[in-house]
Amino acid sequence: MRTDTAKSFYLKDYRAPDYLARTVDLRFVLHPEQSEVTATVSYERRKGADGDAPLVLDGDGLELVSASLDGKPLAGDRYSATPDRFTLASPPQRFTLKTVTRVNPGANTALSGLYLSGGNYCTQCEAEGFRRITYFTDRPDVMAVYSVRLEADAKQTPLLLSNGNPGRKGKLAGGRHFAEWHDPHPKPSYLFALVAGDLGSIHRAYVTSEGRKVKLGIHVQKGKENQAGYAMDALVRSMRWDEEVFGCAYDLDVFNIVAVPDFNMGAMENKGLNIFNDKYVLASPETATDTDYARIEGIVAHEYFHNWTGNRITCRDWFQLCLKEGLTVYRDQEFSADMRSRAVKRIEDVSLLRAHQFPEDAGPLAHPVRPDRYREINNFYTATVYEKGAELVRMIATLLGPDVFMKGMRRYLSKHDGEAATIEQFIACFEAVSKRDLSRFFLWYTQAGTPVLHVATHYDRSRKTFAVDIEQSQAPTPGQARKKPLHMPLAVGLVGSVSKQDLKAEKVTGAEDQGGIFELSQRRQKITFHGIDEKPVLSINRGFSAPVEIDYRHLDRELGLLAAHDSDLFMRWQSFRLFASRQIFAAMRSLARRKKPVWKKEFLDAAVKIAENGDLEPAFRAMALTLPSETELARLLGRNINPDAIYKARRALSNAVGEQLEPLRETITETLDLPDRFEPSGADAGKRELANRLLAYGVHADSETAEAALVEKFRAATNMTDREFAFRLILQEMQGTPAAEDAVTRFHERYRDDPIVLDKWFAAQAAVSGRGAVATCRKLVADDAFNWTNPNRVRSVIGTFSSGNPTGFNRADGAGYRFIIDAIRKLDAINPQVAARLLTAFRSWRMLEPERRKQAQSALRRLKKGRKLSRDSSEILDRMLS
């Protein structure tokens, strides 16, 4: 264990390694409590490195059994070995080092390195888990060719997998057996993986565009093979798509995916052997919702796409994490957009960005897409690196256009194949093919914070000009007081206030019109549209062309017009949503004065129009009709947050909308023609979502028929989408009634033996808003089925409560904060990565109203005063308190 928890690493300190590993030969003798790892590594001093530089290898909690150099046992004065470092004094230019270490997979609850999950051995090495297995130059710019031999009990561990292609296998004495694997592609240590266990498998044959025959395998808990089909289907579609769209074909003879129940994140792209959190593999109509299916599809694609963007081309150092993550998220977003509805996918992605990344950018945990400093790298697998990172790639595609963008991608993929690259090198590829200077664009990677575009407009009726004045700003973030203006593509349209159609300008001055896209690069810019005959309504940042906030005061009437008529679906959604937020904020003001809220008829009419509009995709209508979440509203308010007041006002609007929609519910639902048979398609998912959204409105409006329909839906649901939806709504709306108790019992009886669905049972209860939530959660963590070592289970209660239940978590007396802090303290000793992530639920604590702010602060301070925390949690805590 590294004890120095306060040390920071800086991008500016990067130095190439003194020694490069060329080949790595690993032999694992697997036992649950004592596994032996023999690593035989050929090292070579890097050209230009200091001739008498020692070889310094990383370790983390290791126990050295023996070491030898070029076949001879090492004398004790030649090396030193501590749990976290192996140092070899003055090695030769080229040499082979053999070390034997011992690890205990059964005791590894941090789920990093080699551990047991569901009785099977598996590994997680990104970012720095390999050093928990053996001493090594555990950094991504050391790429080597790996050969692996696994030995284990033949009966208990029939399946032996590692990276690359399979080699020899056979029986050994004592009921043991072995298998060998060889990966011809040089890779960094974080992509190493092994799996050994007793699993059920499904296989499929795939032939790449280059004619390579690949055997695909998905391995899951025995008896669940019939839940792996959708993931396999998604994998095959991903492989085809990457060939067709990016020209990337697979490069090994086998590709395996293994699903494990204990996993710190979603999934991991180990070369040829992706390991997944099983909830992102297993699906059946009875157990998985439409959202689950869509996530499985997206994550399978994401990990597969890493084979090129991440594995073939990896990162020089962890500061460059967005090089692989932002790019790969962009690729999986595009894949899902092609598989489903592009417009709907864009809205979902922007919602996600706003829900997770914008608050990060606006609080104490703000950091650039490419950070320049960290204490614990695991804390930087963030929405900023992933989701904002993807937006930056998307902006490059918008700025350069699809053809030049693809040319740049092809250049990147061929020029840096086999390398550990940097963001500078990535951007240089696009500069080369476009002959453009992207240095100002590069600031997006180094400046933290969400830019705001302050917009003012002026329509001159006599001159027929419409001027749009734009000023950029970017608030200070930790360590960055002043920012420079950024280079971005901004999609702008004008919608006629009378014609309600896109207006075409005769000419545009102040910026070049590239098909409705305008480039900004100065702090202040003025774009003037000429030949505008009627008063226009500004439609700005269409399609969310740049990840910025727009500060412009549309009139409510204008928002209504855009919501109904904008040619850009994203803007329609966005405008209606903003309109809804304003209704809620107005209601908050009324309620604070003990007055009944009054709703704009224009808004309620717009809601009805969206609900009824059969020309719009059902999924779009459902998303538009989903009111901004309590958390989103809090973010928009920005300060002095009282979550109870937000809840009440939002709920009041929901009642009002419900009263409008309830009389139409049955008719609209009928026109949807809901399918009898469950298909996980985006189109069908949208229909179910809209029907359910309308039902929720009916229940919010206290309609007895809607309530009866809800209870019936829960009873008779034929898929998990409907059942979970009904379950959650019953728990929330019928709190304390026998119907709610009955639902809890029934759901439990039905799914108690399926951990993934049981997580939904836990989460649904933890999400019920209100004061009682803390007591509920205390009960849930005391349940026999709750356990602190399974991250999914922990997240289903602790994560749902702290991030998905604003009124419960932010209880005015601080009981919610104290509950979470106690949970984090306990969890930190078991699994620091997951504990640190849960701790980020406090990231917006400074925006709370004074009483809650005080409570949150004292809970955080209490955590700081107590027993010493892991490096992971203490970094997050210190940043939040500073």
Residues that bind Zn ion (CB under 5 A): 325, 328
Q: Give 357's DSSP letter.
A: I
* 869 makes contact with ligand TRP (CB under 6 A): no
Distance, C-alpha 260 to centroid of its chain: 19
For residues 358 and 449, is the Cβ–Cβ distance under 8 A? no
**Which of the listed partners (Zn ion, ligand TRP, none) does 292 bind, with a CB threshold of 5 to 8 Å by partner kind?**
none
Cα(237)–Cα(296) distance, integer angstroms: 12
Is 25 or 325 the residue whose CB approaches Zn ion more closely? 325
Cα(597)–Cα(588) distance, integer angstroms: 8
Q: What is the phi/psi pair of residue 158, to 5°?
A: -70, -30
* 872 makes contact with ligand TRP (CB under 6 A): no
Cα(319)–Cα(37) distance, integer angstroms: 30
Is 18 or 303 the residue whose CB approaches ligand TRP more closely? 303
Closest Cα to residue 488, out of 510, 466, 517? 517
Stretch that binds ligand TRP, among 123-131, 177-185, 456-464, 586-594 (CB under 6 A): 123-131
Read off the tokens for 515.
Answer: 């098909």
The yes-or-no answer on residue 303 being catalytic is yes
Is 58 or 303 the residue whose CB approaches ligand TRP more closely? 303
For residues 366 and 483, is the Cβ–Cβ distance under 8 A? no
Is 328 or 831 the residue whose CB approaches Zn ion more closely? 328
Is 84 or 126 the residue whose CB approaches ligand TRP more closely? 126
For residues 706 and 687, is the Cβ–Cβ distance under 8 A? no
* 126 makes contact with ligand TRP (CB under 6 A): yes
Cα(85)–Cα(73) distance, integer angstroms: 19
Is 298 or 618 the residue whose CB approaches ligand TRP more closely? 298
* 276 makes contact with ligand TRP (CB under 6 A): no
Minimum CB separation of residue 128 from ligand TRP in Å reads: 9
Minimum CB separation of residue 328 from Zn ion in Å reads: 5
Minimum CB separation of residue 162 from ligand TRP in Å reads: 17
Cα(656)–Cα(599) distance, integer angstroms: 8
The Cβ-side half-sphere exposure at 505, using a 13 Å CA radius, reads: 22
Member of 120, 124, 157, 450 binding ligand TRP (CB under 6 A): 124
* 457 makes contact with ligand TRP (CB under 6 A): no
Closest Cα to residue 651, out of 726, 701, 605, 579? 701
| Contacts for 394 with CB less than 8 Å, ≥ 6 apart | 330, 333
Number of residues that bind ligand TRP (CB under 6 A): 12
Residue of 128, 303, 630, 632 with catalytic role = 303
Stretch that binds ligand TRP, among 261-269, 438-446, 668-676, 764-772 (CB under 6 A): 261-269
x/- letters, 696..735, toward ligand TRP (CB under 6 A) = ----------------------------------------
Is 304 or 620 the residue whose CB approaches Zn ion more closely? 304
Member of 264, 384, 477, 840 binding ligand TRP (CB under 6 A): 264
Closest Cα to residue 699, out of 710, 715, 690, 688? 710
Cα(378)–Cα(492) distance, integer angstroms: 38
Minimum CB separation of residue 354 from Zn ion in Å reads: 21
Cα(723)–Cα(728) distance, integer angstroms: 9
Q: Give 250's DSSP letter.
A: -
Cα(583)–Cα(384) distance, integer angstroms: 30
Minimum CB separation of residue 325 from ligand TRP in Å reads: 6
Is 315 or 344 the residue whose CB approaches Zn ion more closely? 315
* 387 makes contact with ligand TRP (CB under 6 A): no
For residues 686 and 620, is the Cβ–Cβ distance under 8 A? yes
Member of 143, 148, 265, 540 binding ligand TRP (CB under 6 A): 265
x/- letters, 297..326, toward ligand TRP (CB under 6 A) = -----xx---------------------x-
* 268 makes contact with ligand TRP (CB under 6 A): yes
Query: Strand 420-421 relative to strand 314-315: parallel, antiparallel, unpaired?
Result: parallel
Q: CA torsion sign, 704 to 705 to 710 to 711? A: positive
**Which of the listed partners (ligand TRP, Zn ion, none) does 267 bind, with a CB threshold of 5 to 8 Å by partner kind?**
ligand TRP
Only one residue has tokens 């014609």, namely 499
Residue numbers of the site for ligand TRP (CB under 6 A)?
124, 126-127, 264-265, 267-269, 302-303, 325, 381
What residues act catalytically?
303
